Structure 1
Amino acid sequence: MTLRQHPIGSQGLVAGVEGLGTFGMTAAYGTRDDAEAVATVHRALDLGVTMFDTADMYGAGAAEELLGRALGQRRGEAVIATKVGGVTLDETGSIVGPANGRPDYLRTAVDRSLRRLGVDHIDLLYLHRVDPAVPVRESFGALGELVAAGKVGYLGISEAAPTSIANAHATAPLSAVQTEYSLFTRDVESNGVLDTVRELGIGFVAYSPLGRGFLTGGVRDLADLPDGDFRRTWPRLAGDNLDRNLVIVDRISDIAKRENLSPARLALAWVLGQGVTAIPGTKRRGYLAENVAAAQVELSPAIRAELDAAAPVGAAVGARYTPVAMAAIEE
């Protein structure tokens, strides 16, 4: 089983159709297990996964450090994608302020990421969130300079509105836009983001393509989540929202059972079938193998239509994040 590679955007970036997200390796999803996380990175490389997605704010820099150690001598096999500017971090990795798109801060943040990763350049760098206090053209003017200096290969932007995407792209060409996208979160189909990236020739990278694990069917109650799991504060699992959203999960699970697929494989195959790159996150080799296998599944038009009806745009109940986190997302 070898993962198919494909171009992401029109600037020359090439990576596997499926990458590996590292958000949960050092934070957010319960107990940390560095040995298993490193083994998962190595197994991903063996399976043809080439894009590894991280961010400076994940685990106060720990995710970048872990990824750098894990890749080690195999760095040449990987496309390292990281994100800066989502929050303001001090030199220890502690959050000391909101989104920060100031050119001087972005230059400093990239240098810190390079040190943590232990590399001399970042293959794909995203502006993690748009800073409402700084024109996006100003932020990308600085990021474009980092490309010219050889510190960064390609540029992207995360959770941005169509106008910001277009303005960033006009300043320093974008290779990727990263936004949450799954059968559970289909906002980009109705808010102009997918239309914009396709019109401009920018690649689209879908994070949380399994609905933060909810679409696997493995979360039926908050008690199913370990202590310290950030999903315990997730609005979509709060109160009546959980029961209403489980209806969607059960519809998808019924289709998966009929097709002799796991719900995870079916849901991820649907995302990949949209012609995008998906970056499901996991810190365990078993889940990784299941995710990579989804790239081999081709869904018929009839099944896709059935899934569209089972989980239409806007069906999920509750916000994608807590109010504070939602305030940082352009809509």
Structure 2
Amino acid sequence: MKTTQLVGKEVGQVGYGLMGLTWRASPPSQAQSFKAMRAALAHGANFWNGGEIYGSPERNSLQLLNEYFTEYPADAKQVVLSIKGGLIPGQMAPDSSAGNVKRSIDECLRWLDGKKTLDLFECARLDGKTDVEEVVATIGEYVKAGKLGGISLTEVSAATIRRAAKVQRIAAVEVEFSLWSTELLENGVAEACKENDIPVIAYSPLGRGFLTGQIKSFDDLPADSMLRHFPRFQPDVFDENLKLVREVESIAKQKSVTPAQIAISWILAKSGQDGYPVIIPIPGATTEERINENMNPISLSKEDVAAIDDVLKKVAVKGGRYPDAGTAHLDM
């Protein structure tokens, strides 16, 4: 697997999203989670992305990571860890004030307990009240003190990236990016990251599982799935959005691979090309089987990428990325 650098450390071209291991109605067991995490690392997916917000204050990525690195201490040096925080504890409400950002970082460090360094920290969302310059300056104090490797931003606009980069070195910018969320290529964020030599971390590269082709109808979603509340999964647009999935499935069949492999390979084909920054997709998975699939991309030719791009021009995705409450916190 190809590598790139984050905070001076080598990371694989595909990373691993930890959200599903703790933030779902029925999370997998510790044993299953550990097996998945070890499988990701075995494939070279050593950039791990978790969150203080991925679950409750009592059970989120940090507790799982503490347990994992207690069991596998030798893995700590291999993993490059990014954690999202900066929300009010127990609420999906951002608070980017200096006091809460410091609380969040301190809490992450407390749970890691010296078993693993905190390589990157990012506010999951900005609160719209605190200037980004103040936010990154606060995080920057921990970088200067040697308690944190670098600063990341999440779901921010090109203008916000440029403002932040003027006062602090920004190590990464995390945004949703996939075949059905291509805003990154159109809203100036890719250009701003390229200008400032900032890698992009692409979350939900499989469209929250939709692009795998395994979700064929609204009823396929578990009764307790949060996706039942997301606009793009609603019954009135579901069949329209399936048109994109069918196109991806057709391409995958021609290549004798899975739709998931096509989706991730397309992101990697964009990475560092045509004026774009390095892009690291971070698919999440809870089973070794899915990880083996996600971490095994193929090489797409320029003709392959052009054919996929043509599909994206013809097939329009219906519905917003988030429900209204979530959209309100996006820095558009």
TM-score for both structures, normalised by structure 1: 0.92
**Could you say what secondary structure the match of 2:28 adopts?**
coil
Q: In the alignment, is the contact (CA less than 8 A) between 1:273 and 1:299 conserved in 2? A: yes
Aligned counterpart, 2:21: 25
- Residue pairs, 1:5-44, within 5 angstroms: 5-8=3-6, 12-28=8-24, 30-44=26-40
Q: CA–CA distance in 2 between the matches of 1:59 and 1:24?
A: 9
Aligned to 1:258: 254
Matched to 1:323, the amino acid is D
2:102 partner letter: R
* Correspondence 1:66 to 2:64: yes
User: Quick check: 1:111 aligned with 2:112?
Assistant: no
> 1:21, CA displacement in angstroms?
0.3
Q: Normalising by the residue count of structure 2, what TM-score does the alignment of the two structures yield?
A: 0.92
Query: Is 1:236–1:317's contact at 8 Å kept on the other side of the alignment?
Result: yes
Cα offset for 1:7? 2.0
- In the alignment, does 2:135 pair up with 1:139? yes
Among 89, 94, 99, the residue aligned to 2:94: 99
- Report if aligned partners of 2:96, 2:126 keep a CA contact under 8 Å in 1: yes
C-alpha distance in structure 2 between counterparts of 1:290 and 1:177, whole Å? 25
1:286-322 CA-partner distances (Å, limit 9, x unpaired): 100001111xx11011111111111239821101011
RMSD, aligned α-carbons: 1.6
Superposed displacement of residue 13, structure 1: 4.2
SS of 2:173's equivalent in the other structure is strand
> Relative to structure 1, is the Cα distance of residues 29 and 214 closer, same or farther in structure 2, using a 3 angstrom cutoff?
farther
Matches of 2:42 and 2:10, distance apart in 1: 17
d(CA) in 1 for partners of 2:248, 2:187: 24
Aligned length: 319
8 Å Cα contact 2:124-2:154 kept in structure 1: yes
Shift of 1:34: 2.4
Any idea what the Cα deviations from partners look like across 1:210-234, whole Å, max 9, x if unmatched?
1111001000112222232211111
The superposition leaves residues 183-223 of structure 1 with CA deviations (integer Å, 9 ceiling, x where unpaired) of: 11000111100011001111111000011110010001122
From the superposition, tell whether residues 329 and 265 of structure 1 become closer, same or farther in structure 2 (CA, over 3 Å): same
Aligned partners of 1:148, 1:314: CA distance in 2, in Å? Answer: 47
1:200 matched to 2:214? The reply is: no
What per-residue deviation string (whole Å, max 9, x for no partner) do you get for residues 258-309 of structure 1?
A: 1211111111100111111110011111100001111xx1101111111111
Q: Secondary structure at the match of 2:322?
A: coil
Partner of 1:286: 289
Is 1:128 the counterpart of 2:124? The answer is yes
Is residue 223 of structure 2 the alignment partner of residue 227 of structure 1? yes
Distance 2:32 2:172 in 1: 29
Q: Offset at 1:37?
A: 0.9
Distance of 1:14 and 1:45 partners within structure 2: 13
Q: How far is the alpha carbon of 1:125 from its aligned partner?
A: 1.1
CA contact (8 A) 1:186 1:313 kept: no
Aligned to 2:184: 188
Q: Which runs of 5+ in 2 are unaligned?
A: 272-278
Q: How far, CA to CA, are the matches of 1:47 and 1:172 in structure 2? A: 33
Q: Which one-letter code corresponds to 1:286 in the other structure?
A: E
Separation (CA, whole Å) in 2 of partners of 1:28 and 1:189: 30
Do 2:97 and 2:130's aligned partners in 1 also have CA atoms closer than 8 Å? yes
**One-letter code of the match for 1:103?**
A
Distance in 2 (alpha carbons) for counterparts of 1:164 and 1:178: 13
SS in structure 1 at match of 2:11: strand
1:18 & 1:124 partners in 2: Cα distance?
17
Question: Aligned residues: percent identity?
Answer: 29
C-alpha separation in 2, matches of 1:53 and 1:173? 19
